[in-house]
Structure 1
């Protein structure tokens, strides 16, 4: 027998399998593989990408998982879209969903479940060559608040004991959940930030910008610091260094936080590949979160049970 899907013609036993997949409403690509679409936070990306790689290996090529990095806000724009061409099944998020995004999902008929997958410590970093070891939240505010734009341009303008050299700043873009969280906790209002810095949704760009410049400073997720600690220095915040221990015991404040995936419940119900992937995610998280040097939780199975109840 022959089966045509999206303009591609398949024959024989493979065509029969493909037909069964299509009859079950599971999206497939041109090779007949079930597709799971994920986008969003760069902070959550290393965890989800690690799960995706292992899951695809387990499925032996029967499932394709795509994981993009458009930032938490950019991810929700796709997740809550009513355009099937761009809509995602899962959204990585380094902050909770905003009211405006909830409305966008409601308007598009997207029902979802929030699942915390790890803890993160937003990490403020400088080059290994920079002598600084500590910074206060007050100094961070003076450095990053909107009033600093084109005015606070040297290190000694933040603290008079620091050198009289240019201050070069790197940070997440405005679509980033890390940007939202940092500005909320440090500046006092989410989204308020100086604009004359180098932004990127790709944390690796921020890493490279600081690693090679003694006068630079950046902030991003803890995993990216851990992966690059041979060329970066994490600053203590109000005397406390970021670590799994200080996040767990609550002493690393105010920049520790939970991070999430948001799951489209209709996709879980209609696409067995999505359901299996999310279950695999929660089963594998204790090991894989540690492997990517993030900070694991202890309640994965409880959320797996909540998911099962939500899709009944």
Structure 2
């Protein structure tokens, strides 16, 4: 796949990029030189966008190596899109930034981002994968429904089935009178999203530069809450925060009178209590969601902290 990429922020909403012209353009840009500067990429993208292109209302499947979204700054800054997007990294990594969070999507990771969500995305060199664009009208009355909030996970063993569904959607969108088939395939895709494996631990969250203005302990607690399901160590979180475990422990003891690991246990327990009161998930599911090594580990920790089993606490809170 050529390294040269076309900035999708310059492609008008609702328009499809003719893939034959896309590949011809990237071939002319060449692969021997370093990645082309964003300004040149924007000019190349506009040359295509200014040509008459028929509006497409069906799904659009794009190669992830050529998908960049965001403002024209370097790096791109978050912007909203009018369509939903499914991003699947099959090789390499992709930067994915939201207004208050920065992520690096590793290989095998999947993200679903609903329309109207501000984000920026740009792949690293040699990144491969797929970007599926879906107009909101396509997802009306889909059963099961698509998520209403951003969703993260890993394709895992379902990768082959997910790829087959994406290819079928792309094929059907090119056929006339394919509304019923698309409706059925979108239902299958929604089901596959609901069954994604948990996001891998190396899909690390990194703090934005302005986060450095907040006290270290506050940043630590926010990060710990966001990363619970990945089961990070204190060393992992300290590295992301740009400090050492000793310095983090010292800050936590000064601010809260407890070590970092103790505060992290409290954050995990607090979230477990909230989820049990909500009643939408079983204790086993909550254990997996919050990064406990097993249901038994969750039960032991919860009983030690509250004197009750998670199931008993949930029943009494219902």
TM-score (norm 2): 0.23
More helix by share: 2
More strand by share: 1
TM-score (norm 1): 0.23
